[in-house]
Amino acid sequence: SLNDLQNIEFICEPKIDGLSLNLNYEKGSLISASTRGDGKLGENVTNNIINIKDIPKKLIGKNFPDEIEIRGEVFLNKKDFIELNKSLNEKNKFSNPRNAAAGSLRQLDANITKQRPLNFIAHGLGYSSKKYDTYLEFYEDLKKWNIPSNKLKEINSSLKSLDRYFNEIEKIRNRIEYDVDGIVFKLNDVNLQKRLGFVGKNPRWAVAQKFSAEKSITKIKKIDFQVGRTGAITPVARLLEVNIGGVIVSNATLHNFDEIEKKDIREGDLVEIQRAGDVIPQVLKVIKKDKSRKNIVKPPKLCPICKSKTVKEDGEAVIRCENNNCRAQILGSLIHFVSKKSLNIEGLGEKQIIQFYNNGMIKNFVDIFYIEKHKDKILELEGWGELSFNNLISSINNSKEINLNKFILALGIRFIGETLSNLLAKEFLNISNFFTNSKNKDRLNNIDGLGPKAINSLYNYFKDNDNLVIIEKLKNLLNILDYKITISNSIFNNKNVVFTGTLIKLSREEAKHLAIQLGAKISSSVTKKTDFVIIGDNPGNKAKKAKELGIKLIHEDELIKETS
C-alpha cells in the first residue's frame, strides 16, 4: 500500500543540460561507452571518453558488481565553454555548452576530444548484477568508485520540501558552474520504481520539472534573413552579444514578418530575448524604441541567397523562395538527409556538408555515397586526416541500411515530418509501393490522416523528374527495410486512433509512441474510419465530432493500462 505518502523518499537533483552517456563495466573494468541515441541505439564513443577525468577506466576497490551500466551526463562548465569558443574560428564556434559537449564527444578524431575539458556526472543505473534496494545505496557505491554524482542532490519526502528544493536551485541556477534547465525528482526505493515501470523509454518513477526560460535585454544591431531547406525565409535579429546563463547569444529568431509587425520590432531597438533549452533565442518584446527608428523590415521580393522571386501561399505567414535549386535549400536538404533523425551519418554534419558542397564534391543525396573517390582532395582540407576520413566512410556504409519511415523522412518533403513518415510507411509497407503510389493522387487522397497540403506536396515532389532519378539511384544504393507491422493482442492493434485535448500523465509524443507500439495507426483528424479518440483535458471539436459519428472516446489511462 502507498497510503502514507510522507514516507516515500525522492532523490532531487539538478537536470544538467548535457549529453547522455552510458558506461558499461565488467568486473570493474570499463568495456564500452555510448550515447543513449533514441533510447535503444546509441553511438559508441569509447575511444573519446578515455581522457575524461571523472570516468575511471577501472573501479576502485573490490566491492563492485560483475556487470553494471552507469548512466550520466557529459557536459562543459560555462567558463570552459567560453574559453573553448575563443579558441575556435568563427565558423566552428558552438552556440551553447550542450552542443559543445556533444560536438566534442562525437568527434571522429579522438585527439580533438582529448583537448576539450569535458566533465561527467552519474545520475542513473541501468543493468546491474548487484541488486540495490535504494538509489542512495547506488550513489554511495559511486562515491567509493570515484565516480561523481551531483553535489547539490537532496533526499526529500514531502511535496512542500520538493517545492522548496526546486525554488532554491532556480534562484542559484546562474551561479552553478554548468548549465541546468530544471530539477529531476525520482523515487529512491528501487522496488517502487519497478512497480511503476516505464512508458516507452520514459520512467514513471521519475519526473523533470523545467525552470522558466532565461531572459535578458539587449539591442538589435541588424535584421537579416535566413533561408531554410523548404525555401522558408525567416527574419533573424543580429544582437549586441549578451550572456544568458553562461551562453553568449548574438542571434534571435523573429519567426516571420507578421510577428515583426505585431511586436513592432525595428533595428536599433532595445528588446527582451528569451533562451529556452535548445530552441534558438527569440525576441519577446520591445523594451525601448530606438530614437531614430528606421522603417519596419518588409518581406523581401527576391530571395536573399539566389535572387529568385519569393512567394506567400494562401493561409501561410511564411514567405518562400520559389527556386528549388536555391543554394540554401540544397544545403538544408543535405543537412537534413544526414541528420540524426534521418540517415544518422556520424561525422557528416552541417560544417562538413558545407565544406564538401563548396568544394563541388556533394551536390545531391547520391553524391554522399560516392564521397570516397574524393579522398585525396578531402585529406587536403582543414580538419581531415586518414583516421577521420576512414571513420566517415565507415559511418556512411553503416547508414545504408535504413527503415522505410526514416528514409521517407530523410527525403525532406515539405509537410512530411516524423508522424506522416510513419503513417506512409505503415500504409505502403515497402519502398516500391511508396515510390509507385506517391505519383497517384487518388491513392493518396484515400489515406486517412494525410491532409491536402501533405498530399499536394508529395504529389508535386514525385512529379519532378530530378527527384525520381535521385530516389531510383538511392533505391539501388541503400537497403531500405520494409515496414514491420506490429501485431499485438491490444484493443488498439490495427486501429485508427486520434488524440485530442491535453494529456495529463503522458506527453502527446509519448502517447503516440505508446499507441504505435500497440499496433495503432495515428491520424490527425476524426473521420468515419476512426476507431478510437483518446481524450485529455479540454478535448474540443474532435471529441464533439467523434460523439456525432458514434466513435468511442477513451481516456489516456486505458492506453497506459494496455501496456501493463
E strands, 76-179, where?
A: 119-128, 154-156
* Tens-digit pLDDT profile for residues 453-476: 999 999 999 999 999 999 999 999
CA distances from 371 to 2, 60, 130, 377, 484 (A): 60, 46, 47, 10, 32
CA 556 to centroid of chain Cα atoms = 25
Give me the residues paired with residue 150 across strands.
none
Residue 201 banded pLDDT, cuts 50, 70, 90: low
Average pLDDT, integer, range 163-186: 92
3-state secondary structure 73-105: EEECCHHHHHHHHHHCCHHHCCCCHHHHHHHHH
Residue with more model confidence, 81 or 275: 81
CA torsion angle 135 136 141 146 (round to 10): 110
Any alpha helices (H) in 367-523, and if so which ranges? 375-379, 386-398, 404-410, 418-428, 431-437, 441-445, 452-463, 465-477, 508-517
Distance CA 448, CA 444 (A): 9
- CA neighbor of 334 nearest in space, from 366, 378, 306: 366
Residue 108 banded pLDDT, cuts 50, 70, 90: low
Least confident of 32-46, 143-157, 296-310, 545-559: 32-46
Specify the 3-state DSSP secondary structure of 520: coil
Residue 40 banded pLDDT, cuts 50, 70, 90: very low
3-state secondary structure 371-390: HHHHHHHHHCCCCCCHHHHH
Share of the chain above pLDDT 70, in %: 95
- CA neighbor of 72 nearest in space, from 126, 7, 136, 132: 126
Least confident of 143-157, 171-185, 289-303, 504-518: 504-518
DSSP annotation string for 268-333:
T-EEEEEE-TTSPPEEEEEEE--TTPPPPPPPPSB-TTT--BEEE-TT---EEE--TT-HHHHHHH
Cell triple for 190: 528501487
Average pLDDT, integer, range 76-103: 85
DSSP annotation string for 212-223:
PPEEEEEEEEEE
Distance CA 390, CA 109 (A): 10
pLDDT score for 25: 95
pTM metric for this prediction: 0.65
Average pLDDT, integer, range 101-105: 86
Whether 15 is a known active-site residue: answer yes
pLDDT score for 30: 95
Residue 42 banded pLDDT, cuts 50, 70, 90: low
